Amino acid sequence: MICPSSESAAVPGVYANHWNLIREGYRSIRPLGLFSRAYRKILGRYLRFYIPEGHRVLEVGCGDGSLCQELPGRPYTGLDLSPEQVDAARRANPENTFHCGAGEVFSFDDTYDTLLLSDVLNEAADVQALLANLRNAATAETRLVINVHNTLWRPILGTARRLGLKPVRPLQNWLSSEDILNLLDLGGWELVRHECRVLCPHPLLGLGTLANRLLAPLFPWACLSLFFIARPKPVERRAEDFSVSIIIPARNEAGNIEAAVRRTPQLGKSTEIIFVEGHSSDETWATIQRVIAENPDRPIRAFQQSGKGKGDAMRLGYEKAKGDILMILDADLTVPPEDLPKFFEAIASGQAEFANGVRLVYPMEVAAMRFLNMCGNKFFSLLFSWLLSLPIKDTLCGTKVFRRHHYDLIEANRAFFGDFDPFGDFDLIFGAAKLNLRIRDIPIRYQSRVYGEPQIDRWRDGWLLIRMSWFAARKLKFF
């Protein structure tokens, strides 16, 4: 490992001059006051939300390492260009690892699950070079977590420094959201989500806490801290690298089984079809058995669920699936099986980590969706886009596609939201958003049923969706 003094001689003088000024600024910083410590604790609460427990974290610009104390259960490594700060961090946190160096040119010899830049882009000598160099510490699954100050707060923070409520910092960059998005793209990163947090940087006997939990989500433009979560731009893989499992929940769908098998294309290096039958009152189970016997050349398996609901059926299907990529296809075939290659390409190419079907882009067949159902779908798409800080145009389309190992992570993290979703769609969407997966909408042409009746009660299930949305809001927004 190398220290910034040796780095400075090997890079352009503007870097060396900048880092020298930053180091001098570190020496002149007054001890953190109560407001700074309080802000760090507030920041830690949000970072614990964005960084899953168990993730190996590298914080660049760690200073004296005080933020690592707010991230328990996450193996931590710190990097800072100030030898004095690194020494202080090592003394205060002997169980963690700290290195001396500047992120723009540091030679990383390891990769990490999360790379953290907390209020550090404001002082970087070259933000683009820093972001590009961090790619060397990342894998395809790594997430880059950035928080910076909102430029709206610039006069307020300047006043706080003059009053001694905030440490004096040298050579501040003030970057707009557009600046950061552009620099992420130039540095080889792709934005996953962007959120605004912290309306009050101090608890203020509970009033600040209430403001941060209840008001900040409603007034994002006024928040102090802007959070950006990004992933490395994907490297495309060959379609032949992936096997596929297509899970088809089927209840009272006897008239659609044969068409589902006939119309489902072969994808990747192998494609298996898994039917999960759910207490049908028609000939669905017998039809599945007959179709399996008539197609001995295709890998088709079938199971009967012991529980109830589509969510239970899907989870049984995931448990039995052998493929690298998992696909959900409703047995009513209102989402055409012929559209599945679009979902496969999005996942196989790395453009998406969670491909979500959308019925509300193209014109749909007459009677494919009742008017009140259409209104409900549009309402919940707007609500969930706000809840997740992600553009989700359709939450209830039955077709969703993702990698097997990502589902395993969603399942392991299910306790965060609880096992309350009888449909199975929201469990997946919430879980993917919490894990900071790249969610992409895939438009499809929604078709009318040719057999059977819809399985959803618009009033009963609509009320359940509202309750689930309120629960999600408490977990994702008002916390």
216 and 254 co-located in one domain: no
pLDDT at residue number 459 = 65
Whether residue 381 has pLDDT greater than 80: yes
- Give pLDDT tens digits for 54-71: 999 999 999 889 899 999
Whether residue 450 has pLDDT greater than 80: no
Whether residue 174 has pLDDT greater than 90: no
Whether residue 7 has pLDDT greater than 50: no
274 and 385 co-located in one domain: yes
65 and 196 co-located in one domain: yes
Whether residue 443 has pLDDT greater than 90: yes
98 and 214 co-located in one domain: yes
220 and 317 co-located in one domain: no
The total number of structural domains that make up the chain = 2
Last residue of a domain, one of 185, 202, 232: 232
- Give pLDDT tens digits for 230-246: 999 998 777 888 999 99
Average pLDDT over every residue of 346-359? 94
pLDDT at residue number 156 = 83
Give the highest mean pLDDT range of 167-176, 305-314, 432-441, 444-453: 432-441
pLDDT at residue number 235 = 81
pLDDT band at residue 1 under the 50/70/90 scheme: very low
Average pLDDT over every residue of 171-179? 83
- Give pLDDT tens digits for 262-287: 999 999 999 999 999 999 999 999 99
Q: What CATH number is attached to the domain comprising 187?
A: 3.40.50.150
160 and 303 co-located in one domain: no
405 and 317 co-located in one domain: yes
Last residue of a domain, one of 232, 255, 277: 232
201 and 258 co-located in one domain: no
138 and 181 co-located in one domain: yes
- Give pLDDT tens digits for 397-414: 889 999 999 999 999 888
284 and 418 co-located in one domain: yes
Last residue of a domain, one of 214, 232, 250: 232
340 and 208 co-located in one domain: no
- Give pLDDT tens digits for 89-142: 999 999 999 999 999 999 999 999 999 999 999 888 889 999 999 999 999 999
SS (H, E, C) the chain: CCCHHHHHCCCCHHHHHHHHHHHHHHHHCCCCCHHHHHHHHHHHHHHHHHCCCCCCEEEECCCCCHHHHHCCCCCEEEEECCHHHHHHHHHHCCCCEEEECCCCCCCCCCCEEEEEEECCHHHCCCHHHHHHHHHHHEEEEEEEEEEEECHHHHHHHHHHHHCCCCCCCCCCCCCCHHHHHHHHHHCCEEEEEEEEECCCCCCHHHHHHHHHHHHCCCCHHHCCEEEEEEEECCCCCCHHHCEEEEEEEECCCHHHHHHHHHHCCCCCCEEEEEEEECCCCCCHHHHHHHHHHHCCCCCEEEEECCCCCHHHHHHHHHHHCCCCEEEECCCCCCCCHHHHHHHHHHHHCCCCCEEEEECCCCCCCCCCCCHHHHHHHHHHHHHHHHHHCCCCCCCCCCCEEEEHHHHHHHHHCHHHCCCCCCCCHHHHHHHHHHCCCCEEEEECCCCCCCCCCCCCCHHHHHHHHHHHHHHHHHHHCCC
Q: What CATH number is attached to the domain comprising 414?
A: 3.90.550.10
- Give pLDDT tens digits for 290-347: 999 999 999 999 999 999 888 899 999 999 999 999 999 999 999 999 999 999 999 9
Whether residue 162 has pLDDT greater than 90: no
30 and 97 co-located in one domain: yes
Domain range enclosing 451: 239-476
